[in-house]
Amino acid sequence: MSSVASSSSLVAEAQLQTMIKTRRKLPSFYASLGILGTFLVVIVICIWWFGANIGGSIFVRDLPAELQTRTKLYLTSDSPIPEPRDLNCTFHNYSCSEVHHCGYDDSTTISVYIYPLQQYFDEKGNDITPPMSREFEEILRVIANSPYYTNDPETACVFLPSIDLLNQNFINPDQVGKILASLPWWNDGKNHILINMLPGSPNNYHDHLGVNMSKAMVAGGGFSTITYRRTFDLSIPVYNPLLEGVELTAKPFEEERRWFLLSSQFGLHATYKAQIEALTKAESTVMMMDQCDSQNFNYSIRCDYMGHQYSYPEVLQDSTFCLVIRGNRLGQPTFMDVLMAGCIPVVVADGYVMPFSEVLDWTRASVHIIEEHLPIVYDILKKYSPERIVDMRRQIHYYWQRYFKSLPEITMMMMQIFNDRFVPFVAKNSDEWNDLPNKAAFKSPLFLPIKAPKAVGFTVVILTFDRIDSLFQVVRQVGRVPSLAKILIIWNNQDIKPPPLADWPNIGKPLKIIQTKFNRLSNRFYPYDDIQTECVLALDDDIVMLTPDEIEFGYEVWREHPDRLVGYPSRLHLWQNDTQSFSYESEWMNQISMVLTGAAFHHKYYSFMYTYGMPGNIKQWVDEHINCEDIAMNFLVTNVTGKAPIKVVPRKKFKCPECVKEMLSASSSHMVHRSECINMFIELYGGMPLKPIEFRADPLLYKDNLPGVLRKFRDLGTL
């Protein structure tokens, strides 16, 4: 202990010199140096005195009052100490943790109880409370102010002793053991979290916190796979307070870096140093730096072998890859520097458990090589493509900002992972942890490439108001389609009752009528429980011209593309240069980007999405204006899948054979409204999801006349 102290004061002098140098540049400070000196002496005496009497810990800001009690506790030489760390503990081990207070049906957030700050004395009255660091204070503060905090130990899921174990060098393991055992809810350490970043001490660098803790969990920096109890312990980074206040200007991800590989760590083992040195001689883009002056600790500068000085951590930004090599400990604070600078860490630490590796996919943001391979690290790294390097930089930036950049992030990350363990059914999956937010990316709810089974068939949902004649005609037509499973009539008329079932055409398939409470367009997309098939055919009550062959073939196409809208009438959006907006086109063009849901197949899940998950007030707007529900559906599906709808068969007229143009679509005001819809939806979606395509789906033998071949789907209309 004493040797540490004396070298500390050496460092102190060195620091003072650095400080003086810095301050010379600032005349106002220079002027007040004298006063400052006096001030220092006073503070020193002051702290010394306070320290001697209240054990180095002082009032912790922003902690709930109940934690600030600071009572005194005396431990004797025969106070119990916990059993040694139980190596067989896993999260699911009955004897290692209790789960009955944790989450599940009441809440999906675990509750964390923090023990009030206390002072501990030994028999002789010596204060044996481990000194409290501001970093640990910060961690306590973050948890105490988080949704995880509870002040009720009776209902708490997890317990956090307010004993600072971040640096094992500052604690007396025996005393800490006694303190832990004396905690009122200790219970053999079950459900207790101990937080440690620097395990071991100079005499013996363990890779885990060397304290008797029995069944307590450790969130620790520097675990090896051997000491890490997976699902139970948690590997965390070694936070580096030397980075506080450092601001780095971000470099563009694509920008070339000056060096390919940089080593700038202090205190590297001579073996590694020699190996890296050999690399620097062989490759001009490999760089090694070290302390500028081994007597004066100065973290903010590094020197190369020529003595050229570089400011740190800025210099890390000049390299593509940065070595993070194990020192006496496996976990190195340098890792944080490298992440911050956006340099790709090349971790050389056999058996090291990467921080938060339980959830983070480090293959996307780092390189790991075994210690033996250090001499060939350059060849290994050269295999990474420039594009991959850019991707990794992006990923590092994301990880840093989200999970590492300061103690609050690290602490919350820790708690979130513990939470996921205790409440696993709400745990995030690897995409949610690792995928960069990307507006252009599609997460299709129907991602599995699969041909939907034919036997299940489809449900036709016909929205109707009062056109009984054409409705019955449609029912008769669709009733002849072999794969039809059920007809669902959505009777959107609240004043007139639907005709009694006996009056309906007898089609030999189930038919059900649902009379709605309100006349809304969105009723057509409601996910009725009566729809038991995944495939839904939305049909207007006046689409009398579709033939059973056309519908059956449409179902075939949908089965091959169950994630798309598959339909008959098609439309296109077009950019108009004169109005600088999109217009809606119903002309027969060489492209389409929408199919109208007056006759279109979709997966039932899209009914859920339409009803419960459309952006903004689109659903409400459509219901109020009684228009554009089909455009809304096309936006919805293309936006979530990135896939265009598919137009089936050549037919272009659907309602009556005589009409040149279909009635509703013909009026020009209708077209204007439709264009307005498109532009409004673009705003709500923050972009134009629709995409034009140039093809339609026809039966394989459409228009063929092959002798001896029984052609399917012959009854297709031409226009």
Partner 1 sequence: MQFKKRLLTLTLMCTTLALAAYLIYTHGILGGGSEQASNAHRRSIVRLEMPEGRQMGGGLGGASQPGSNQRSFLLDDIPGVFAQDAHPNVRDRSQGETAQDWRKCHMETCFDFDRCKNGFKVYLYPRQVPVSAPYAKILSVIERSRYLTANPHEACVFIPSIDTLDQDVLSKDYVPDVGTKLRAQPYWNGGRNHIMFNQYSGTWPDYGEELKFIEQGILVKSSMSIDWIRYGFDISMPLFAKNHPQSGGEMGYLHNASNSIPSIRHYLLAFKGKRYLNGVGSDTRNVLYHIHNAEDIVLLTTCKHGKGWEKLADERCYIDNEEYDKFDYQKLLFNSTFCLVPRGRRLGSFRFLESLQATCIPILLSNSYELPFSEVIDWNKIVIWGDERLLFQVPPMVRSVPQSKILALRQQNQLVWESYFRSVDAIINTVLEIVKNRVARHLVRPSYHWNSVPGAHVVLPEWSDIPNNFPFYYKTFGETPGDHFTAIIYATSAVTASSPLFRVLKMVAKSQYCKKIIVLWNCDVPPPPSSKWPTDLGVPVRVKTRDVHSLNARFLPFKEIETDAVFNFDEDVLITTDEVDFAFGVWLEFADRIVGYPARSHYWDEALAKWIYTSKWTNQFSMILPSAAIYHKYYNYLYHNFLNPLILSKVEEVNNCEDILMNFVVAHATRLPPIKLTQRKAHKPPDAGTPPSAVAASKAVETDQLRFQQRQECLEAFVENFGYMPLIHSSMRMDTMLYKDPVSNMRKKYRQIETVNS
Which residues 509-528 are close enough to bind partner 1 by CB under 8 A? 527
Which structure tokens are listed for 584? 């809606």
Distance in angstroms (rounded) separating the CA atoms of residues 242 and 258: 25
Q: Which of residues 75-94 bind partner 1 (CB under 8 A)?
A: 87-94
368 touches partner 1 by CB under 8 A: yes
Q: Which of residues 397-456 bind partner 1 (CB under 8 A)?
A: 406-408, 424-425, 427-431, 434, 438-453, 455-456
> ω into residue 313 within 30 of 0, thus cis?
yes
Q: Which of residues 462-501 bind partner 1 (CB under 8 A)?
A: none
Which structure tokens are listed for 190? 């079950």
To the nearest 10°, report the CA torsion of 444, 448, 454, 457: -30
Residue (318 or 534) nearer to partner 1, CB: 534
Which structure tokens are listed for 32? 């007040």
- We find the least distance from the C-beta atom of residue 578 to partner 1, in angstroms, to be 22
Residue (451 or 497) nearer to partner 1, CB: 451
Question: Which of 51, 498, 505, 615 is the binder for partner 1 (CB under 8 A)?
Answer: 51
Question: Which of 77, 154, 202, 668 is the binder for partner 1 (CB under 8 A)?
Answer: 202
Coil, strand, or helix at residue 536? strand
CA–chain centroid gap for 262, Å, is 30
Q: Quick one: which of 522, 517, 521 has its CA closest to 493?
A: 517
Q: Which of residues 219-248 bind partner 1 (CB under 8 A)?
A: 225-226, 229-231, 238-242, 244-247
Question: Which of 11, 73, 574, 682 is the binder for partner 1 (CB under 8 A)?
Answer: 11
Distance in angstroms (rounded) separating the CA atoms of residues 602 and 539: 11
Residue (287 or 531) nearer to partner 1, CB: 531
Which structure tokens are listed for 354? 């990467």
107 touches partner 1 by CB under 8 A: no
Question: Which of 71, 76, 311, 385 is the binder for partner 1 (CB under 8 A)?
Answer: 385
Q: What are the E-state strand segments in 252-369?
A: 259-263, 286-288, 301-303, 309-311, 319-325, 344-348, 367-368
φ, ψ dihedrals at 460, nearest 5°: -95, 130
- We find the least distance from the C-beta atom of residue 179 to partner 1, in angstroms, to be 14
- We find the least distance from the C-beta atom of residue 506 to partner 1, in angstroms, to be 26
145 touches partner 1 by CB under 8 A: no
Residue (136 or 186) nearer to partner 1, CB: 136
Residue (164 or 541) nearer to partner 1, CB: 164
Question: Which of 9, 76, 580, 669 is the binder for partner 1 (CB under 8 A)?
Answer: 9
Distance in angstroms (rounded) separating the CA atoms of residues 271 and 269: 5
- We find the least distance from the C-beta atom of residue 385 to partner 1, in angstroms, to be 5
For residue 637, give Cα distances in angstroms to 144, 444, 519, 632.
43, 9, 24, 9
- We find the least distance from the C-beta atom of residue 469 to partner 1, in angstroms, to be 29
Q: What angle do CA 218, 244, 250 make, to 5 degrees?
A: 110
CB atoms within 10 A of CB 54: 14
Question: Which of 269, 467, 625, 661 is the binder for partner 1 (CB under 8 A)?
Answer: 269
- We find the least distance from the C-beta atom of residue 505 to partner 1, in angstroms, to be 26
Distance in angstroms (rounded) separating the CA atoms of residues 312 and 300: 5
Query: Looking at 122-130, 250-258, 315-323, 497-505, which segment touches partner 1 (CB under 8 A)?
Result: 122-130
358 touches partner 1 by CB under 8 A: no
136 touches partner 1 by CB under 8 A: yes
Residue (365 or 631) nearer to partner 1, CB: 365
250 touches partner 1 by CB under 8 A: no
Question: Which of 109, 167, 320, 523 is the binder for partner 1 (CB under 8 A)?
Answer: 167
Q: Which of residues 587-646 bind partner 1 (CB under 8 A)?
A: 588-592, 604-605, 608, 641-644
Question: Which of 1, 65, 250, 306 is the binder for partner 1 (CB under 8 A)?
Answer: 1
Q: Which of residues 651-710 bind partner 1 (CB under 8 A)?
A: 652, 693-704, 706, 709-710
Q: What are the E-state strand segments in 128-204?
A: 149-150, 158-160, 193-196
Question: Which of 45, 501, 666, 672 is the binder for partner 1 (CB under 8 A)?
Answer: 45
CB atoms within 10 A of CB 443: 11
Residue (251 or 405) nearer to partner 1, CB: 405
Residue (464 or 559) nearer to partner 1, CB: 559
Q: What angle do CA 132, 134, 139 make, to 5 degrees?
A: 95
- We find the least distance from the C-beta atom of residue 341 to partner 1, in angstroms, to be 15
Residue (85 or 229) nearer to partner 1, CB: 229
Which structure tokens are listed for 635? 């936006």
Residue with tokens 């054409």: 470
Query: Looking at 147-155, 303-311, 555-563, 667-675, which segment touches partner 1 (CB under 8 A)?
Result: 555-563
β-pairing, 301-303 with 309-311?
antiparallel
Which structure tokens are listed for 18? 């650095």
φ, ψ dihedrals at 170, nearest 5°: -95, 5
CA–chain centroid gap for 123, Å, is 51
47 touches partner 1 by CB under 8 A: yes
Distance in angstroms (rounded) separating the CA atoms of residues 66 and 73: 17
Residue (285 or 328) nearer to partner 1, CB: 328
Q: Quick one: which of 320, 318, 292, 319 has its CA closest to 304?
A: 292
Distance in angstroms (rounded) separating the CA atoms of residues 49 and 43: 10
Q: Which of residues 311-350 bind partner 1 (CB under 8 A)?
A: 326-328, 333, 350
272 touches partner 1 by CB under 8 A: yes
For residue 444, give Cα distances in angstroms to 447, 529, 575, 609, 643.
5, 23, 27, 12, 9
- We find the least distance from the C-beta atom of residue 327 to partner 1, in angstroms, to be 4
CA–chain centroid gap for 152, Å, is 31
- We find the least distance from the C-beta atom of residue 392 to partner 1, in angstroms, to be 9
Distance in angstroms (rounded) separating the CA atoms of residues 275 and 130: 40
Query: Looking at 301-309, 362-370, 496-504, 622-630, which segment touches partner 1 (CB under 8 A)?
Result: 362-370
Q: Which of residues 25-44 bind partner 1 (CB under 8 A)?
A: 28, 31-32, 35-36, 38-40, 42-44
Q: How many residues bind partner 1 (CB under 8 A)?
A: 196
543 touches partner 1 by CB under 8 A: no
Distance in angstroms (rounded) separating the CA atoms of residues 633 and 612: 13
Residues contacting 397, CB < 8 A, separation 6+ = 250, 253, 342
Residue (7 or 579) nearer to partner 1, CB: 7
